[in-house]
Structure 1
C-alpha cells in the first residue's frame, strides 16, 4: 500500500499547535494598501479558533498540472484576497490585509503517488486527515491546492482546496469555485446554484400585531439562549460531545451521498422543506448512533438529552453565482456574512420515523419566525467586541462551540454537472477543521445527490462511517414510512 505523505512533505505547512506567527508591520511601512481585518475575520486569528475551509472535489479524469496552475492564476487575478497576507502591527497589535507577490508554485502541491497502492480511498482520507493537523505559514497568502491523481471509488482524481476561514465564508468560496468553472454540458456557460434566487432570511411578515409580537418574542428567547450558552448553558455530556482541546486534534473527513429525489419525495409528502427533511434525518441518525455508543458501555441512553447544533446561516441578499461573476464590487459578495442559530435536536426514540421530520419542521418554523441569526451576529460580531474587545469576544464565541455538541451547515450546490480544472466533477465535499467542536456536518446538493460531509475528531467520533450509515438508514426508514410500505433494514 502506498505511504501517505507525512506532514513534513506538506510544503509550507505547520502543525496546528505551532505558535502562529505573522508578518510584522515595521515602522514607516504603513500605506493605503493596508486593509484592516473585519471583526469576523479577526476571530479566526484568535487562539483556539484557527479554522480552515477544506473542500474535496472529485473529477472523472487525471488532473493536469497546467490546468491547476491556470486556475490558480485566474483565481488570484479575479479575487484580490488571495494575494494578501496578514500583517500585524508591532505596537497596536492590529491586523491588516496587505497585497503581496504570489508565487503559484508555493500554493500548488502535487505529491508523488504510488499508482499500485492497495486503496486509493484510504490514501485520500489519510492525506486529508494529515492536513487537519497542519496550517499554512502566515508569511504567504493563506490558501493552497493539493492535486491527488489517485483513483478512488467515486473519482479518478481528487483536488483538495484549502483556505483559511478569515478569507471568507463557505458561500464566498463556493461562488468563487463556480465562477471559475463551467457547465459540463456547455463549456461557455456558468452553472447555477440549487437555490439560485434571493436568499430566504428570517423576515417573516407579521400579518397582525400578535404575530409581530411573536416574532419579537421568539427572537428575544433565541437571543437570550445564545447569551446564556456563551456563559454557562451546556449540552448534556454524551459520547458525541468533545473534550477541551478538540480544535488541535486530528480529524477524519468522510462523505455519504443519498438521492435528492428521495429527500424531495419526503418533502412533498409532508409539506415540508428540504432543510426540514435533512434536519429530521440527522435527528433520527443521531438517535441510532447514540444508542449504539451507549450499548458499547452497557448504559441506557439518558432521558431529556440537551443536544444542539451551532448552525451557520447565510445573511446575503442573494446566493446567485452570477452576482459574484458580474459584480465588480468584491465587498458585495465576499467575506464572512453569516449569523448563528442554536438548533436543538430531539434524539428521543420515535416509533414513527416521520415524527423526526415533523419535529424538525416545527423547530425550523419557530426559527423562521424570528430574527435570530441577525441578533446573534450583532451580539457576537459587534456588541461584545466593542464593549470588551476582540480577545474576550473570541473566547465567548469559542465557548458557544464548546457548550454545544456539533456544528451544522446546509449549503446549496450546482444544479448541473460542473466542469472544473477541465474535468467533469463527480462530487463536491466542503468541510472545515480547527473548529472547537468534535463534529461538523456540512450538507451540500450536487445535481441529483445530497452529500453529508462529516468532519469528525477521532477521539469524539471514532467511527464516522458508522454515523454515515445511520444517517443513510434513517432516510431509508423515513422514505418507507412515507410510502407506507415495510422497511427492510439496509
Structure 2
C-alpha cells in the first residue's frame, strides 16, 4: 500500500523461491456438508489471515533481483478458485472422493505454481469432493506457522464463539522431566553429558556436511535423484489411529509419538523393499531421510497472536532445521525393536545441535554466498538421501470453517528429488500421513501406505502381548 516501505524476505524465504526448491504447501480440509462458496469467501474476508502482512503482500524484485514484500489490496475473489473435478477415466470406476482429491493434489505438486501478480496463497474448492485446499508458498512461513494461521480461521464445533484450541506435542512433557531432574545430577555427570552432546554434534554435523557434498544412499527401489522432482506424481494416504500410536508409545519407557512414527516408517520401508526388490536387500541396509525439526521454544502449533509479536520466542516464519534420519532394513521378529532403534537414534539427535546447525548454516551461506549456492547445497543433500518426513500435532477436538465441520486435515508440498515425501498431521484422534511419490519409481503408493499401517498394527499387538 502507498506510504509503506517494502520488506525484504528472510534468507529461508529467498531459498524457497529458487527454481530448484520452489515449494508450495497444500493443506486439505475435508468438509462434512456441501460447500457454500459464498460463506467460505465471507469467512476469508473476515479472517485474521487477511490481516497478516505476508498474506496481503506481493512478491516483487528490485533492480538487483533481490526479493521484497510489497503491501497490496487483497481481492478475495481472485484467491478463491472453484474446481469441478471428476474421476479420471484411466482410474478405477469406483474411485472415491479421497482418491480424486489425492490425484488433484499430486498434479498440483508438479505443475501448478502460484501466480506472483497476487499474494502467494489460494483456496481451491472442490464441491463434488467436499474438500477445501489452502495453497500457500513456503516463503510465507513453515508448516507450524501456516497451520497455526489456517486453524486461527476455524472455530470449535461445540464452542462456535471460540477459535480452535492449539495443542503441543508430547515432547514438551519430556523436556520438563529433564528440567525437574537436572538439579539432582552432580557436576561430573553434567560435564559428561555436555561432552557427549559436543561429540554427538561434531559427528552428526560432519555427516550432514558430507551428505550435502557427495555421500549418498545406495540405490534401492525407493531412491530418487536429480530431476525426479519434475516427474509425474501419485499421492496416497496412510491412516493411523492416534490411540494405536499412543499404545505403542506407552509400552516403551520414555518413548514419544515421533519415536513410534519413525519406527513405523523403518518397518514399513523394510516391508515394501521385500515386496519390490527381486532379491532380498542386505540386512542393515541404510535408508536415510531428512526430518524437519521445529526450532521454536514451544513445540507444536502456536497461538497466532503470540507468533506475530516481534519479541516472541515462537515467532512467525520459517523456524525449522533438518536432521538426517538413518533407518535400516531389517526383518525383525519383534516389531517393537524398530521403535527401540528409532528412539535410541532420536535420543542422540536431540542431544546434538545438528538441526540448529542446519538452520544457522543455511542463513550464513545465504548471506555470504547467496541463494544460488545455498540452494545447490540443499538440492544435493536431498538428492543424496531417500525421503522427507514431517509431523505436525494438530487440534484433537473437532473444528469447523464457515460453520462446516472439518472431517480431516492433511498436508503435502511441492515435489522434491526424493522418491518419497511424507507429511503427517493429527486431528481429532486420527493421524493422516500423505505419501507423495513419482509414479515411475513407486507406481503403487497405496501398497506403501498399507505397509506403514500394517507395521503399526503389528506393533500395537506386540505392545498388548
TM over 0.5: yes
Within the candidate set 70, 76, 84, 1:104 is matched to: 76
2:33 paired residue number? 61
Match of 2:90 in 1: none
Equivalent-residue separation in structure 2 for 1:467 and 1:147 (angstroms): 28
1:293 aligns with 2:265: no
Residues of 2 paired with 1:113 and 1:467: CA distance? Answer: 26
| Per-residue CA distance 1:69-103 (angstroms, 9 max, x = gap) | 1233224432121111211122x221111112222
8 A contact 1:407–1:439 mirrored in 2? yes
Say yes or no: does 1:440 pair with 2:421. Answer: yes
Aligned partner of 2:290 in structure 1 is 310
Correspondences of 1:386-401 after superposition (within 5 Å): 386-401=367-382
List runs of 5+ in structure 2 lacking aligned partners: 88-92
Q: CA deviation at 1:253?
A: 2.6
Query: Normalised by the size of structure 1, how large is the TM-score?
Result: 0.85
Residue 108 of structure 2 aligns with which residue?
Answer: 131
User: 1:121–1:208: structure 2 CA closer, same or farther, 3 Å change rule?
Assistant: closer
Residues 233 and 196 of structure 1, relative CA distance in 2, 3 Å threshold: closer
Partner of 2:442 in structure 1? Answer: 461
CA contact (8 A) 1:191 1:415 kept: no
How do 1:317-396 residues align onto structure 2 when only pairs under 5 Å count?
317-319=297-299, 323-325=303-305, 329=309, 332=312, 333-382=315-364, 384-396=365-377
Specify the alignment match of 1:70 in structure 2: 42
3-state DSSP of counterpart to 1:470: helix
Instruction: Describe the superposition over 1:284-327 as per-residue Cα deviations: whole angstroms up to 9, x where unpaired.
Output: 00000011110xxx222134422111111001122465631356
Preserved CA contact (<8 Å) 2:308 2:316: no
Map 1:463-478 to 2 at 5 A: 463-478=444-459
Q: 1:173 aligns with which of 146, 153, 157?
A: 146
State the distance in 2 between where 1:200 and 1:32 align. Answer: 43
Q: Return closer, same or farther for 1:162/1:77 CA change in 2, 3 Å cut-off.
A: closer
Contact 1:440/1:455 (CA < 8 Å) preserved in 2?
A: yes
Q: Normalising by structure 2, report the TM-score.
A: 0.90
After TM superposition, give the deviation of residue 107 of structure 1 in Å. Answer: 1.0
Alpha-carbon distance in 1 for matches of 2:44, 2:232: 28
Does residue 52 in structure 1 map to residue 24 in structure 2?
A: yes
3-state DSSP class of the match of 1:343? strand
CA 1:217/1:196 → structure 2, altered by over 3 Å: closer, same or farther?
A: closer
- 1:209 maps to what in 2? 191
Which ranges in structure 1 are unaligned for 5 or more consecutive residues? 1-28, 152-156, 485-490
Greater mean alpha carbon deviation, residues 320-329 or residues 351-360: 320-329
Q: CA deviation at 1:137?
A: 1.5
SS at match of 1:356: helix
